[in-house]
Amino acid sequence: MLGAGLQCGTATLDPHSLARLVRGLELWRAGYAPRLTVSEPSGLLGPASCPRLSDLQRAHIRALYPQGGPEIVTLRRVTTTRDEAARVRDLARERGWRRVLVVTSPSHSRRAARLVASGGVEAVSVPAGETRFDMTLPLPSDRLAALRLARERGWRRVLVVTSPSHSRRAARLVASGGVEAVSVPAGETRFDMTLPLPSDRLAALRTLLYEGLSRVKAGVGGTPER
């Protein structure tokens, strides 16, 4: 589990760190990861009084599993993902690890796995849950957060996955932020899109009316449900 942030004043993990911890424990419980790594900050960044991330992670794990929890290995004195990758490389050589599961935030997963793999160990990316927005982008706030992330990361193209009836509008909104948006509709769950039954045709009509009303509300300054 790669390190993220924490709230110094309350000595609690931030949402990114907590999501990574949850994913790591899920992998351990499923039998994929017999041991978990936690990252010990070097102290070069942040207030000196701030608790160590690795201590908070260990405390969480001990509280959940007082007996029989996973083996915890600490990556000592790290500041960046490169530092973490270097510590994993050394541990892999020392302990004979051939494969590691790299748990981090979705937007960070490809780069992190590449850095770990550069140390000569097979790196399998297992992203934690996204905490900044709903990745199906159902609300304007979700699409705005995703767009901000794309700008931060310098992405030129994003795949917009949402319901079929919503896909064109969602892709257009994302593209308005200056990034190429490719619509990849999810499966329709409300009705059979071949409309074989009266109930399917009725559900399709309701969907069209709902989407139309949502657009009208947005056009007059209201808040659309979608």
What are the extents of the domains in the chain? 6-125, 140-219
Whether 121 shows a pLDDT value over 60: the answer reads yes
- pTM above threshold 0.75: no
The string of pLDDT tens digits covering residues 162-181 is 778 778 877 887 787 777 88
Q: Give residue 93's pLDDT.
A: 94
Question: Residue with structure tokens 């140390």?
Answer: 119
Mean pLDDT for all residues in the chain = 85
Instruction: Mark 33-59 as b/e (b = at least 16 C-beta within 10 Å).
Output: beebbbbbbeeeeeeeeebbbbebbbe
- DSSP letter for each residue of 147-196: HHHHHHHT-SEEEE---HHHHHHHHHHHHTTTSEEEE-PPPP-SS-TT--
Whether 226 shows a pLDDT value over 60: the answer reads no
Whether 193 shows a pLDDT value over 70: the answer reads yes
Higher-confidence position of 17 and 46: 17
| Percent over 90 (pLDDT), the chain | 42
Helix (H, G, I), strand (E, B) or coil at 26: helix
Architecture in CATH of 6-125:
3-Layer(aba) Sandwich (3.40)
